[in-house]
A and B are shown apart, each in its own frame.
Chain A
Amino acid sequence: MDSDAPDLVCQLDNVQGMVDALTAVRWKRHQDAVIELSEHGIVLIVEDSNCLQAKVYLQRELFVRYEYGAQGRPRFGLSLGLFVDCLNTFSVPGHSSAIEIRYPGPDMQLLLKSVESLDSGIYAEMRTRIPETISWDYNFEPEWSTPLTFTVKTAALKEAIDDLEWPGASIQITLQPAPPSVTFRGDGHGDLQIDFTYYANPDLLIAFHCDRQVSHRYKYKFLRATTSNIPGSVVRDNRGSKLTIGRGGLLKVQHLVSVARTSTAHPHIDSAGYQQPSRIAYIEFFVKPEEEDTADD
């Protein structure tokens, strides 16, 4: 293999989709992110207080060109906020928003440039860091043979979590099989309970799998981070988010974000409202339950 060849050269035809996907995991101003490159695509990982982790998967199918030349899986750190602000600069209206991403530059930078006419162009070089430690592995696995999971309209989930802001710092999520329902309950300064019942709200609660009652508490601020920056396109596309509770109460929240150009988005949507998987970025959040959890088991 040519040692001078960069680890990665890829092109994306719609930078706004990438901005949307990365913004979804930007829950505070200063966040360090780790980027991992592989032959399958780009994964960006952010973490908070050892209790919350988010991953954005940008598979190679999202890119119009993806040339991977590294051995192993190169990892580097950078500031998420700066990365998003920088990418956002490339998505100026009226400008082609196709970009080329290259790593590493001569000084291990991440290099970005617009791919368009010869007469004007945007470029950026971002300093990268050596990631400090291997990020703590959240090691999500189901506790029982059948996973405890439900899928809810993303807009409804965001609204519910936003509404739970006033009661307090800790939110209890309960799944019960009979009647099949999900309950979000916050008590602190006051208490508020939000129920999604499978039979009453079939348009909101799209799927539900639960064979035993389970209940865990999560810090509100971490729960809120999972939906606080969901891009508008997710709500417009009327997508659902999948929540799964794994071993020890670890909560996984999955969102789908469209990375397709808006003008070409519709041909990909079939009658069921799903887009071709190749034009979707997957976003996963892992939230650890609070220490003194009340899992009834």
Chain B
Amino acid sequence: MKFKAFLTENGVSLLEKRFLPALDKMGKICHLYLTRDHAFFLHNLLNGDGIQSVAQFRKEALFDDYRISSQNGDRIAFAVDVSLLHRALRSSVSICTEFGTGATANRLQIKLVKKLPANSTQPMPFLSLETKGFKSAVIQDVPISKPLSRTHLLELQTALGLAQDLPRTLVQVPDLNQLQSFVDRMKHVGDLLSVSIAKYGDLHVQISTTLITLGAEFRKLLVVGDQAEAPAEDRNVSAQTRSSRALLRGDAQTVQVSVKHFAKSLCYHLAKPDCAFYGIAPQGACLTVIFQFFIPGSRQMDKSISLHCRLPVLDPASS
């Protein structure tokens, strides 16, 4: 089992400045899953509860000179502490910029190693970051879990496949920061958020307890997938009436999710996505949030990076 690659400059800045801070907010531990062509950062794919999150990079988006081999069809997966990886990467970057001269001098190598830690007789696996300066080399070893067995790897691969299904209707959220500050304030009022998405481009979120009902409605959002014209008779009614009418017509879906999960998903604005879409999976299986990235300086989607998460739906009766 071998993995060795050089992080590109773009890869370093993507991970250090954008993705690792965002992924760290999602959860301390994630699985890093490496295949011949892709690197994935996966949260909560193997255990049922919590937000499932998938960040996928084509190898060229992060690495060059990428070499991987294993007996599981050149696939390797292990659990890693995101904040440790972020810290190690940050300090490697500062060393790179401090000592680096020329294009080749400050390359950052990342590889899988087994080492004997101090006071131990058992060799342990590490993800090792190596920076070669002019006169010195700095190596940082980030401890990782034992690589996943063939069975677990298959499980992860299956879960990843299942996590890729798209909702029929997706609406684009106009302003992530604003939605985040709104949800952060709403958090104080209740725990359960009901989210309705209509084919007309309506997103309606609401918290309802015995003492208070508090909600927000965003209309005329950009719709991707199934869409419909908003009926004229709905124009002058309350947000709640509009939502329930759309549900009755079969033009909308609604699910209940944890406010905390919803707020957490919004932390992905740290990864600086260019746009975000919300959608409800068929049969109301989950609330899906898809973040898109553009090729810098264009409005074209960067297909080498993808990020999405799936919020578990809560049964209103059980809460």
Contacts and interface: CB of A to CB of B under 8 A. Distances in A.
Contacts of B240: 123
Interface stretch (B30-38, B57-65, B175-183): B175-183
> Chain B, interface size: which category?
20 to 34
Contact of B211 (A92, A95, A126): A126
B238 to A, nearest CB: 7
Given A92-B181, A93-B181, A85 B217 contact: no
Most buried by B among A89, A95, A124: A89
Interface in B172-217: 175, 177-178, 181-182, 185-186, 188-189, 210-217
A108 to B, nearest CB: 13
B217 A120 contact: yes
A292 interface: no
Contacts of B189: 82, 85-86, 89
Given A89-B185, A94-B177, A127 B211 contact: yes
Contacts, number: 61
Contact of B239 (A85, A88, A94, A121): A121
Interface in A103-134: 118-127
Contacts of B178: 92-95
A119 B221 CA distance: 9
Interface in A54-107: 79, 82, 85-86, 88-89, 92-95
Contact of B185 (A88, A118, A126): A88
Contact of A119 (B175, B214, B219): B219
B66 interface: no
Contacts of A89: 182, 185-186, 189, 214
Given A94-B177, A95-B178, A119-B220, A124 B185 contact: no
B218 interface: yes
A95 B179 CA distance: 10
A94 B214 CA distance: 19
B218 A85 contact: no
Nearest to B187: A85
**From A120, A121, A122, A124, residue with most partner B Cβ within 10 Å:** A120
Contacts of B185: 85, 88-89, 92
A88 B210 CA distance: 19
Given A85-B185, A88-B185, A122 B216 contact: yes
A79 B211 contact: yes
A82 B216 CA distance: 17
B232 to A, nearest CB: 13
18 contacts: A86-B189, A89-B185, A89-B186, A92-B182, A93-B178, A93-B181, A95-B178, A119-B220, A120-B218, A121-B239, A123-B214, A123-B217, A123-B240, A125-B212, A125-B213, A126-B211, A126-B212, A127-B210
For the complex of A and B, the 9 pairs showing the least CB-CB separation, nearest first, are A85-B188, A89-B185, A124-B214, A125-B213, A122-B216, A120-B218, A119-B219, A92-B182, A127-B211
Given A85-B188, A92-B181, 12 more contacts: A79-B211, A82-B211, A86-B214, A92-B178, A119-B218, A121-B216, A123-B214, A123-B215, A123-B239, A125-B212, A127-B211, A127-B212
